[in-house]
Structure 1
Amino acid sequence: MADHKSKMETTTKDRKKEKQAAGFLLLPRAVSAKEYLGLRGAIKALHATGLQILVLSIAGVLFMILRLQVDIILVSKVIDGVSRHGKLDVEVKVKSGADKFWQSIMDSANIFPKVCSDLYKNVEVLEGDGHSVGSVRMVNFAEGSPIVKSAKEKIEELDEAKKKVAYSVIDGDMMQYYKSFKATLEVIPEGEGSLVKWLCEFEKASEQVPDPEMIRDFAAKNFKEIDEYLLKA
């Protein structure tokens, strides 16, 4: 009996120890100052990291928006630039010989108003002789002229052997519509007659300005009228 009682007391004491141990594990324990500071630092670091991630995310979104706006501006400029520049050309076959027709072009200050009075009012030579590189002339068009009434032209290139001349418009009404306008004319022998080639390169002042198709047609009509005049002369 004594042994049985002793075993029961031992078992009871062991259970009390187990309960105390379990209670010790479940109950909060005191935290040291060092552990507290470490935990506080970890929380601050976590907050700082979260803030950095948020800032970086916002910065990334703003960068993408800015980049998109820049791309749109660049694309619009490219499209705008392409739409304002252009070239037009025309070829006119004439019955007059190349030498004879070329000479009429070189004497345009006198020939054009005389032969094409419905197109030209007069041509004034302002600088040079009117038919060499650097010469400047003011062309005043007649009522039948399309778009413009005056244009100051400067001869930029001249090749007598190839019967080729290039001139730029540097002032006058045309500059209201075109920032730049350069025309090249060439007379090529073709059998007993000639082939007159005319090409213009231009930059429009705005997108609303039409391509100079009327000026191209004006030039073609001019060449035909000169040819008719030369054949009768």
Structure 2
Amino acid sequence: MVLQGILETEIEIMAPAAKFFNIFRNQNHHIPNISDSIHAIELHEGDWETPGSVKQWTYTLDGNTPLSVKETVEEVDEQNKRVKFNCFEGEVLNEFKSFKSTVQVTPKDGEGSLVKWTIEFEKLNEDIPSPDAYLELVQKLTKDIDDHLVKP
């Protein structure tokens, strides 16, 4: 069994790419008001926009007990509307040696956008399942944000 892996998903949304990207680029603090899967995002170091700033997210997977993770933004690519996060503390690291996620938003011809999430991980051992619940979380989060951005 492989210890390292990558999960990906692509989701079509109706919101413009720039608006969706800005939520992850510099408006994280709005997400708990948009999605019931994310309960809080607290700034611990830096600011909401600068790579390297530390934020703690409180969230639930599958409606279970609240979990938390501290992350930093490793990279922001304005031109390609991509943000890469590195998780460095929290329950997710009880099972994974490393856990990174990337969100990229691409405008579609006409209306809407395509959101691509990539989760890169390294398991602590072979008995740990792939982090499919995290892929489901980002899919739900994407839908919640899209609904919020396109509602009249």
TM-score by length of 1: 0.61
Pair 1:128 & 2:46 matched = yes
Higher fraction of strand? 2
CA distance in 1, matches of 2:101, 2:86: 6
Aligned partner letter, 2:18: D
CA distance in 2, matches of 1:218, 1:143: 7
CA distance in 1, matches of 2:18, 2:85: 20
Find the residue that maps to 1:209 and give its secondary structure. coil
Match of 1:180 in 2: 98
Match of 2:75 in 1: 157
Aligned partner letter, 1:86: G
Unaligned runs of 5+ in 1: 1-79
Match of 1:19 in 2: none
Q: CA deviation at 1:224?
A: 0.7
CA distance in 2, matches of 1:208, 1:174: 15
Query: Conserved in 2, the CA contact under 8 Å of 1:124 and 1:137?
Result: yes
- Percent identity (aligned): 34
Aligned partner letter, 2:69: A
Query: Conserved in 1, the CA contact under 8 Å of 2:29 and 2:42?
Result: no
Deviations 1:23-78 (A, max 9, x none): xxxxxxxxxxxxxxxxxxxxxxxxxxxxxxxxxxxxxxxxxxxxxxxxxxxxxxxx
Larger mean CA deviation between 169-178 and 97-106 belongs to 97-106
CA distance in 2, matches of 1:215, 1:143: 7
Find the residue that maps to 1:132 and give its secondary structure. coil
Higher fraction of helix? 1
Match of 1:94 in 2: 13
CA distance in 1, matches of 2:72, 2:63: 20
Q: Tell me which of 204, 209, 215 is aligned to 2:134.
A: 215
CA distance in 1, matches of 2:66, 2:127: 16
Unaligned runs of 5+ in 2: none
TM-score by length of 2: 0.91
Larger Rg over CA atoms: 1
Aligned partner letter, 2:116: K
Q: CA deviation at 1:86?
A: 0.6
Deviations 1:136-176 (A, max 9, x none): 10001147556870111111111112111101100011110
